[in-house]
Amino acid sequence: MKRHVICLGDSNTHGYCGAQEGETLCGGRFSEAERWPCLLQRALGEEYLVIEEGLCGRTTVFPDPLEPGLDAISYLRPCLLSHTPVSLLILMLGTNDTKERFGLSAEEITRGMERLARQAMSEDCWGPGGPDLLIVAPPAIRPEVEHSPVAAAMGRGCAEKSRQLAEHYRRLAARLGARFLDGEGCELNRVDHMHLTQAGHAQLAARVGAVLSDPATGTLGQ
């Protein structure tokens, strides 16, 4: 059996395709030749099955009062059980939690990620011997978002909270004994300033692949 790798995330895992500078948002999706989980599959090879679990608007554990069914904690257990045995779970979430309507601080968002991560690592999901865990801090939302087409949806303060997540997630991963990757520097589009470009997807896939192939982090479980 192949080693199963689940990429659980939001629109940047789904592959939401924001347009480039000078264009409007198209609301489409990058192709299988462009999305970072698909590129990761290509890099890992035939011994692995990379499973895309990206949902636009997904949060860590906080229910959205306007869009039901978007919190990852509600979906986590059935997702993991559907794809068991899972060798690696990659969590890249937190961007949507920064929306002003949630009223959350970066510390509170991190507590949500911790709850999600601990649930994933708990034995009641599948019994002894759960998956390895990689926590990815999403690229920080750019301040220009407040003058973008998504300004009303995101609200004020999201860029600053997003910028703070990486260090909080780094400390969380250390506490949990999980792997960590900071996605900062992966290219974002210049329309909404929060979604990966085609180049950004390729950059993120390369970084995740490098973390997984680093001997210092060990081999994947199961």
pTM more than 0.95: no
Rounded CA-CA distance 88/131 in Å is 5
Give the residues across from 17 on adjacent strands: 28
Rounded CA-CA distance 85/65 in Å is 33
Two tokens, residue 156: 């004020």
Rounded CA-CA distance 187/201 in Å is 8
Burial class (CB in 10 A: 0-12, 13-18, 19+), 124: exposed
CATH for the 3-214 domain, from 3.40.50.10070, 3.40.50.1110, 3.30.930.10, 3.40.50.300: 3.40.50.1110
Structure confidence by residue, pLDDT tens digits, 173-196: 999 999 999 999 999 999 999 999
Task: With cut-offs at 50, 70 and 90, classify the pLDDT of residue 214.
Answer: confident
**pLDDT score at 8:** 98
Structure confidence by residue, pLDDT tens digits, 142-166: 999 999 999 999 999 999 999 999 9
Q: Which residue ranges make up each domain of the chain?
A: 3-214
